[in-house]
Structure formats: structure tokens, C-alpha cells
Amino acid sequence: MKNQNQRLGLHMLHRFVFLAALALGVNAQAQTVIESVTASVQGGTEVVRIDLSKALAAVPTGFSIQSPARIALDFPGVTSAVGRSNIDINQGNLKSASVVQAGERTRVVLNLKYPTAYTAEIQGKSLLVVLETVSPSTPAATVASTFAESRSRDSAPLKDLDFRRTTDGAGRVVVTLPNNQVGVDIRQQGQTLVVDFMKSTLPEGMRRRLDVTDFGTPIKSVTTTQTGDRVRMVIEPAGQWEHSAYQSDEQFVIEVKEIKIDPKKLTQGVGYTGQKLSLNFQNIEVRSLLQVIADFTNFNIVTSDSVSGSVTLRLQDVPWDQALDIILQAKGLGLRKSGNVLWVAPKDEIAAKEKLDLESVVAVQGLEPLRTQSFQINYAKAEEIAAYFRADGGGEKGAARILSTRGSVIAEKRTNQLFVTDIPSKLEQIQVLIAKLDIAVRQVLIEARIVEATDTFGKSLGVKLGGYDARAKSGGDGGYQINGDNRVAFGASYANVTKTSDGLVEGRIVSSGPGGEFLTMPAVVNYPALSSPAQFAVSIFNASANRFLNLEISALEADGKGKVVSSPRVVTADQVQAIIEQGEELPYQVASASGATSIAFRKANLKLEVTPQITPEGSIILKLDVTKDTVGRLTTAGFAIDTKHIKTEVLVENGGTVVIGGIYAETTKEDETRVPLLGELPVVGNLFKTKARSTSKTELLVFITPKLISDRGATR
């Protein structure tokens, strides 16, 4: 019985193996197989022939790479029977072909010498790949790039044409196609870009030349015309530029940006820096397209189950990271990178997962045990540092809380320490923050020089003319008598005179003497010089007639110069206000509503108020308020205050000097007082007028010199 069961088991096993082998044979017969890859030149054109066991249902999708020059074709559901992965050809522009099978997909890679465009068509059981001829001296940028052949036999009008300027200064031409089946051919001719839209028409409203020079992009103009059964667009850029083109469904975009050369950078350009590739797909699934990007970049891409849909995409010479960004934006997807793994999912799904992760972190923090750690504060005050960690953010509205919801902080004034209780991760953050806050504040020496210079000049000329009748005076013969000491006596009065040979008396008559009536001479013309002038007088009298005539000329010329230099200086910390002042306070009475009076004081002083701010490069921003007040003239209400005030904010280099303000005033004054008519007579008129001329110049300059203090000697 036991042997019979064993024979039955062996029979069943043999039957299972036979059925499995039969199934594998049937599957092998049903699978399409690549049998050979050959190359030939037909009429000067290189043709790559890929022979298969069965005819393909559609032309396989592919993409091209500029550097190194390659063309890759993907055959889904096809296996390889070539027997080797690398096939050496070395014919024309084709160096070799690589056939690599990965799962149920086989990729054929054509390794080229120079980048070129290609077309693929199915001919029986073979796929013919026709390479366009490229001269080795022809730049790759001048090769015409056909995005796709038009699959529509009927012409359709373009929907819209728009021009935009990107944030990085590039020019972007956006064309809305009638459908995603329109063939587009883009090529560079000299310094222009020519774009042909196959089987398309141009509405009358779009047949124009757009002058876009004012947008500040490399593109200067865009001209669109109808040429046969196609629409031709000519883009004229200027300077050094590069272009990229891509299509997302019905929207075709051409972007031209300036080539910026930075000698300090090893890789030129900004933004996208990935290796350039070209893609041409019609209604390809997003998941398959992401797999193509992954194969090209050697990144591992993890795609969420919710990623679905298809896209029509045509990219020409676009960095792979920009191509990936375009794909994600077109389908509303997001990307997260971890090492060499890329996770692609809808943006809402990524946001929900990140929110869940954050909530998990918060939940863990609520269960994590607390620790207490002390921090010694060296330069700052413990109370001020603690204010930043509390919920109120140091009293500032809207400040963020640094401690966790379970954390607390205590500031100890006597030892200037902080005692913080919180979870370990928060304590590490606080330790880093304290190391940045508790540092010695740099100090600044600010020196001001206030220079006041005055220059005054005055000139005055005057005259005084008078006479005296001595006949009515008593003494002697009723007139005068000359004594031996040359004095003229009138009774008890006398005057100093000098008697000449002709009987005239010259000199200045001085009313002086002990007692009696003094001799005075009433002035007929009295216009003396101002202030305290120098005087010269001539007196003439007639001895027989007892009459005197007096002429007095006064003149003044004064010249004065003065300079006052005030130099306050103060030392303060960075961003800390400092005030220094010197002067006096003047009392004055203040009356209250009840009628009582009290004494108040007003300052008349020199004051420097400054707040420095040290910039990262070592310069100093000064917020200054300089006042120079002095006691002025006396009024009925008290002394006036002469005020000189400057308030400003300046940026000064360390150790530099800047003039923050200056006042220059010049006053010129001319006065003339005269007797009407007589004072206008030439020459003689000077006896009947007085002249005065004065000039006053004042100048105020304020100099500021800040210095960073690196040692104690800087303050000396």
C-alpha cells in the first residue's frame, strides 16, 4: 500500500512538471523577442534595424541624451534573444548598441558620436530607426529637433499665444495648441529660433510681431506667420543665451534664458543643474515616465499608489531635474528626497503624512521624561535670557515659545544662572541658543568735535560840530582870560587851550575845574561814531568877540576772530544708547493756576546722545542727537537760549570721520545817518552825517569719529 502511494505521488509530480514546462513553452512562444540589431547606410542616411519575432503594435517610446550622445528605446513586454548586451558597430555616427533586459521590459540604447534627431517606424516585424545626418563641425544646438509628427490630417487653429517673464529673468513663450497631437519642429538658425507647428493655422488676431524688449529678457521680438500648412514662429534673442522647450498636454513652452558666466563657479548657470535629456511621449502613464527618469538618473523612485493618469510630454535639451519638476507640476505631485531615494506622491498626501509625523513627535514629547540642567551666564543677565525661553517671549507680542509645553525656566540673580527643566531634545536646543546669546558685546568709542568759528569786522565814521558864546559869562572883562598854564578862565570855570600867534586858541575845551559854572559848547551837528570810537577835535575862538567854534571827528574800526572747539566723547556697547552732557541750568519763575510761583530750570549745555550698531563687515551705524546750547541775551522773562541742534543717522567705517552737519551764516550791515540836504553835499556833506558798516561771519561744523574698542588703549 505504501509503495502504491509512492508511485502515485511520483506520477502526479511528473505530470505537474510536464504541464509547467508546456506552459513555459507556450509563454515563450507568445512573448515578443528581439532577435538582432544591425545598422546600414541607405542613400547617405544611417538606419538602425531592430528585428523582432513579432510585429510591434506601436512605435516604442524613447528619449535622447546630449552628453553622452545616446538614444534609448523602451520595448515593454519584449525579451532579448541577441545573446550579448553590447554590439559594436562603429559605422558613421553610430558607435555601438546596447540591449538590456529588466523584468518584462527591454531597452535598446544607441551610443552615438554626436547628438542627432531620429525617427522610428514599424516595417513588418522590424523597427527602423533613421538617424539624421550631422556634420562633426556642426554644433548640436543647430540640429533641428522634431518633437512629434502630426497625427492629424486636418489643420486646426492655434488657440492662444502669450509671452511672460520668469522670476530669474528668462523669456517664456507659451503657445496653446488645438490638441496634443500637433507636431512641433524647433531649430536654431544663426541667432534666431525657428518653431514650426505642423498642420496648424494662425488666426488673424495672432498674426503679428511682438516687441518684448521692455520685459528685460534675452528675447527681443516674436514674429508669428502662416507658411503653407504650418505656423512658423521666429524668436529673436540677443546676447549669449540658451533655450529649452517642453510640452504638457496642449500647452507648448519655449524658454530662453541668458547664459551667466561666474568665474568662481565650477558649474555655470543657476537653478537646474542636472544632465540634459530629450523626451518624447504621447499619453504615457506617469508611473512609467517616472521610471524612465529613475533609469536615467540612477535614483530610486518610490511612487505612491495614488499616483495615476497619463501625460503627453515633449522635452528638448532640458535638465533632468527640470523635466522631473515639470512632470510633478503637471500632475499636482510632490517630492521628498532621502539619500538617493525619491518619494513621489500627491501633495495632499505628502502634507498629511508630514502632519502625522509631526503629531507623532509631539505625542512622544508629551511622554518623554523631564530633566533639569543649569547654565552659567557670563556676559548677559540671566533674567533677560530667561525671558526669551518663556511663553511670552520676553514680553514681545507674537514671540514664539522655545520651551516645550512642559518646560520651565528659573533665573537666579545672585549667581547669574539659569535652571531649565525640559525634555532632553529641548535642552540641547537651549544650550546651543545660550552659546550664541551669552557673548561679550563689542564696544564703541564715539568722539564728536563741534567747531564754532566767528569773524567780525566793523567800521564807523562820525562828526560833531558845535559853538559857544562867552559874552554872557562873568569874570575878567566878561569874556575869558588866558593864564600862564594855557587855561581859559570864566569866573570859577576854566578850560585847557593853546594860544596861537594870531590870537586863536586851538585844542579841545574840557569842562573841568573846582566849582563854578563849567564851560559847555552846545552841538549844532551831533553825529558821532558808534560805540567807543577814537576822537579828534579842533576848537576855534575869536578873542575879541568872545565866541568859540568846536569840530570833533570820531572814527572806529574793529576786527575780531574767535573759535570754540567742543569735543565730547563717550564709550558704549553695541546697540546701547549713551548720553554725555555738560553745561548749566538757568532758573526762571513759573506761575501756577492759583497764582503761586515756583522756580524751574532750563538747561543750556553741550549734549551728545548716540546709539551705535556694528555691522557684520565692521562698519558702524550711528543714530546721533547732538545739541550745543549757550546762554543768550537777557530778556524780561529771563535769559534766552541760543540753540544748535543736529539729529541724524549715518553709516561710518571703523576709525573714519564724517561731517554730519554744518551751518554757515554771514551778516553784512551798512548804516548812514545825515542831515537832510546838507548831508548830501559833496565833500562838505561828510560834516553832516555819520557812516557805519559791519560784517559778521559764523560757521558751525560737527565731526563724528567712531572706533571699535579692541583693547583698553583704544580709549586713551
| Inter-residue contact 332 to 289 (CB < 8 Å) | no
Distance CA(427)–CA(436), nearest Å, equals 14
* Residue 691 pLDDT class (50, 70, 90 cuts): confident
Query: Residue 482's pLDDT band (boundaries 50, 70, 90)?
Result: very low
For range 571-581, the mean pLDDT: 90
Residue type, 35: E
Residue 465 in contact with residue 524, Cβ under 8 Å? Answer: yes
* Window from 139-148, 211-220, 296-305 with minimum mean pLDDT: 139-148
The closest alpha carbon to 696, from 561, 503, 556, belongs to 561
Higher pLDDT, 557 or 139: 557
- Buried-exposed string 301-327: b where 16+ CB fall within 10 A, e elsewhere: bebbeebeebbbbbbbbbbbebbbbbb
Range from 307-316, 332-341, 485-494 carrying the lowest mean pLDDT: 485-494
CB of 347 closer than 8 Å to CB of 333: yes
Strands (DSSP E) found in 305-439:
310-319, 333-338, 341-346, 371-376, 408-412, 417-422
CA distance 582 to 580: 7
Identify which of 556, 473, 562, 458 has the alpha carbon closest to the alpha carbon of residue 509: 473
Looking at residues 289-293, what average pLDDT do you find? 84
In whole angstroms, give the CA distance from residue 408 to residue 428.
Answer: 15
420, three cell numbers: 531649565
Share the mean pLDDT of the chain. 77
Mean pLDDT of 658-662: 82
**pTM value > 0.85:** no
Residue 265 pLDDT > 60: no
Rounded to 10 degrees, the C-alpha dihedral 230/235/236/237 comes to -160
pLDDT value, residue 365: 75
Q: pLDDT, tens digit, for every residue of 496-510?
A: 444 444 443 433 344
- State which of 110-119, 520-529, 554-563 shows the largest mean pLDDT: 110-119
List the one residue out of 34, 37, 59 whose CA is nearest residue 280: 59
The mean pLDDT of 422-443, rounded to a whole number, is: 88
pLDDT, position 416: 92
Cα separation of the two ends of the chain: 118
β-pair type (200-201, 156-157): parallel
pLDDT in tens, 75-108: 888 888 887 778 888 888 888 888 888 767 888 8
Helices and strands: H and E segment counts in the chain: 6, 46
For residue 461, count CB atoms less than 10 angstroms from its CB and return exposed for 0-12, middle for 13-18, buried for 19 or more.
buried
pLDDT at 249: 77
Q: In the structure grid, which three cell numbers stand for residue 330, read together?
A: 503637471
SS3 124: coil
Local structure of residue 642 (DSSP, 8 states) = E
- The confidence score (pLDDT) of residue 392 equals 54
Instruction: Please give the torsion angle defined by the CA atoms of residues 210, 216, 217 and 221, in that order, rounded to the nearest 10 degrees.
Output: 20
CA dihedral 484, 488, 491, 494 (to 10 degrees): -100
Predicted pLDDT at 478: 42
pLDDT the model gives residue 562: 78
Residues facing 622 on adjacent strands: 612, 650
Output 498 or 257, whichever has higher pLDDT: 257
For 609-643, write each residue's pLDDT tens digit.
999 999 888 899 999 998 888 888 888 777 888 88
Can you give the three-state secondary structure of 449-472, one letter per residue? Answer: EEEEEEEEEEEEEEEEEEEEECCC
Please report the sign of the dihedral spanned by the C-alpha atoms of residue 473, residue 476, residue 478, residue 483.
negative
| Residue pair 131/42 in contact by the 8 Å Cβ criterion | no
Q: Cβ contacts of residue 48 below 8 Å, gap of 6+? A: 37, 38, 39, 94, 97, 110, 128, 129, 131
Q: Which of 150, 253, 143, 153 is nearest to 198 (CA)?
A: 150
Find all residues with CB under 8 Å of 505, minimum gap 6, and list them. Answer: 482, 488, 497, 498, 499, 539, 540, 541, 543
Q: Would you state the pLDDT for residue 59?
A: 85
Residue 8 to residue 678: CA distance in whole angstroms: 164
pLDDT of residue 11: 46
Q: Is residue 179 scored above 50 in pLDDT?
A: yes
Whether 473 and 517 have beta carbons less than 8 Å apart is answered as yes
Cα–Cα dist 316/326, whole Å: 13
Q: What's the pLDDT at 567?
A: 85
Task: Using alpha carbons, select from 50, 35, 34, 142 the residue that is nearest to residue 94.
Answer: 50
Report, as an integer, the average pLDDT of 587-610: 83
**Kind and range of the H or E run holding 8:** helix 2-30
Three cell numbers, residue 382: 540671566
Classify the C-alpha dihedral 423-424-425-429 as positive or negative: positive
Residue of 48 and 480 predicted with greater confidence: 48
Residues 344, 303 contacting (CB under 8 angstroms): yes
Q: Confidence band (pLDDT; 50, 70, 90) for 217?
A: very high
Q: 658-674 and 105-112: which strand pairing?
A: unpaired
The helix (run of H) or strand (run of E) holding residue 597 is strand 597-614
406, pLDDT greater than 90: no
Maximum alpha-carbon separation in the chain? 197
Portion of the chain with pLDDT greater than 90, in percent: 12
Q: What is the DSSP string of 18-42?
A: HHHHHHHHHHHHHSEEEEEEEEEEE
pLDDT tops 90 at residue 417: yes
250, three cell numbers: 496642449
